[in-house]
């Protein structure tokens, strides 16, 4: 089950690790991505802190940590092939994985219906 932020990130929990990416809505608005900058493994972020950057021919956009935690993995494939984020934003186009510091923060995120209402 995916959870969403108002800043158009999604996260999927697997135990205490969250896989994070940008939503299909966000990648559509940005257009074809040409550059992705990911955080370093081991870096820690507060909820809402800028953790990554994605750039398209139209604009650059920060990707925010949806919850506080430590980066445990990054998707090097999207650095080499930014178009993966456009092709599969909630699949192979994920950006980073983080060990969640406070699982209660996940409850504050939007479910699919609330995110859909935000973007319609």
* The predicted structure's pLDDT at residue 30: 94
Give the CA distances from residue 53 to residues 62, 112, 113, 120, in Å, rounded to whole numbers and listed in that order: 5, 24, 26, 25
How large is the C-alpha radius of gyration of the chain? 13
The mean pLDDT of 88-112, rounded to a whole number, is: 96
Tens digit of pLDDT for each residue in 36-60?
A: 999 999 999 999 999 999 999 989 9
Do residues 108 and 4 lie in contact, with contact meaning Cβ atoms separated by under 8 Å?
A: no
Residue 30, helix vs strand vs coil: helix
pTM for this model (two decimals): 0.96
Tens digit of pLDDT for each residue in 13-35?
A: 999 999 999 999 999 999 999 99
Do residues 60 and 33 lie in contact, with contact meaning Cβ atoms separated by under 8 Å?
A: no
* Domains with residue ranges and CATH for the chain: 2-106 (2.40.50.100)
* The predicted structure's pLDDT at residue 1: 87
């Amino acid at each position: 089950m995916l959870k969403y932020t108002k800043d158009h990130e999604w996260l999927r929990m697997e135990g205490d690790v969250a896989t994070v990416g940008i939503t299909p809505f966000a990648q559509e608005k940005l257009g074809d991505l040409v550059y992705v900058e990911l955080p370093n493994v081991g870096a820690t972020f507060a909820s809402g802190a800028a953790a990554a950057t994605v750039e398209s021919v139209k604009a650059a956009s920060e990707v925010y940590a949806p919850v506080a935690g430590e980066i445990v993995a990054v998707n090097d494939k999207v650095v080499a092939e930014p178009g993966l984020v456009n092709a599969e934003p909630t699949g192979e186009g994920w950006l980073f994985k983080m060990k969640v510091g406070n699982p209660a923060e996940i409850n504050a995120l939007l479910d699919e219906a609330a995110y859909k209402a935000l973007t319609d």
